[in-house]
Amino acid sequence: MNINKSDLKIIIATHKRYQMPSDEIYLPVHVGRALNSTWIGTPLTEYIGDNTGANISSKNRNYCELTALYWAWKNLDYEYLGLVHYRRHFKGGNGDKWQSVLTKRKAEQLLKKYDVILPKKRDYFIESTYDQYVHAHNKQDLDKTLEILQKVYPEYIPAWDRVMKSTSGHRFNMFIMKKDILDRYLEWLFDVLFRLEDVLDISSYSANDQRVFGFVSERLLDVWLITNNISYFELPVVNIEGQNWPKKIMNFLKRKFIGI
């Protein structure tokens, strides 16, 4: 598949067939295509895979949607690049779920004013970003990340401390960024994550916790934005499948108070 240069491309990370926005700015990318069929099932040949050109497709079990992002960063020519998920999109208008998905026209209007578009922050209210992560995953993930920053990128420590103490943050690894900003961000992000991969033993992790580098990257985004004084505009997120908030809140409280 030939990808021509465009002003804006928003890739959609997906691991299965799904209804996709018809707008020309969207490009579905089948993540983890390099892995064997027991992992990815039947190849989604109608979508481009993340295993062409320069790629980290084989790391998808651990890097999640970041394998699509890495592929797009290395192989697409663009002025602005965005990342969303097959069931989770930026909301750009009113109407039902699909009708409200961000359009090219709306995106271009916003990008005339802003270099970065992010989802609205998720607020945990009763606990910090650090505590929420530790209750949901493994403490050493963040502790090892901090050690890397202290050694290699000490200028990021004030922002790291601020983010870890905050009760809210940008999640999902969703964004649209101008190319020069994105290049700087991803050079830093993948350097940190590859270093973390070298020192973190995840052999005993559950299948979910082995997605560690995707999880950690969500927390690193705000650290980079704050340190580099990057302004942004926030949009709501529309979940095509809806969100079971009572169940999500209950699981959150169980993890915090009784360790489940």
- Is residue 62 over pLDDT 50? yes
54: left (phi over 0), alpha (psi -120 to 50) or beta: beta
Res. 242 pLDDT band, cuts 50 70 90: confident
Those residues with Cβ within 8 angstroms of residue 198's Cβ, 6 or more apart along the chain or in another chain: none
Over the stretch 13-34, which tens digit does the pLDDT of each residue have? Answer: 999 999 999 999 999 999 999 9
Answer whether residue 125 shows pLDDT above 60. Answer: yes
Among 90-104, 133-147, 246-260, where is mean pLDDT lowest? 246-260
Task: Report pLDDT for 113.
Answer: 94
- Rounded distance between C-alpha atoms, residue 167 and residue 76, angstroms: 35
**Taking 70 as the threshold, does the pLDDT of residue 252 lie above it?**
no
**pLDDT higher than threshold 70 for residue 3:** no
Query: pLDDT value at position 245?
Result: 37
Q: How does pLDDT run across 172-193, given as a tens digit for each residue?
A: 999 999 999 999 999 999 999 9
- Residues, the chain, total? 260
Whether residue 135 has pLDDT greater than 60? yes
Mean pLDDT of the region 215-232:
98
Using DSSP's 3-state secondary structure scheme, residue 83 falls into strand
pLDDT score of 95 = 87
- Sorted by sequence, the CB contacts under 8 Å of residue 162 that are 6+ apart come out as 226
Q: Average pLDDT over the chain, rounded to whole?
A: 91
Local confidence band at 260 (pLDDT 50, 70, 90 cut-offs)? low
pLDDT tens, position by position, 31-53: 999 996 545 566 688 999 999 99
Q: Which residues contact 221 (CB under 8 A, 6 or more apart)?
A: 169, 170, 173, 175, 185, 189
**Within 13 Å and on the Cβ side, how many CA atoms surround 96?**
3
pLDDT for 44 equals: 83
Predicted local confidence at residue 255, as pLDDT = 45
Given the DSSP bridges, would you call strands 88-90 and 237-239 parallel, antiparallel or unpaired? antiparallel
Q: Is residue 19 within 8 Å of 26, Cβ to Cβ?
A: no
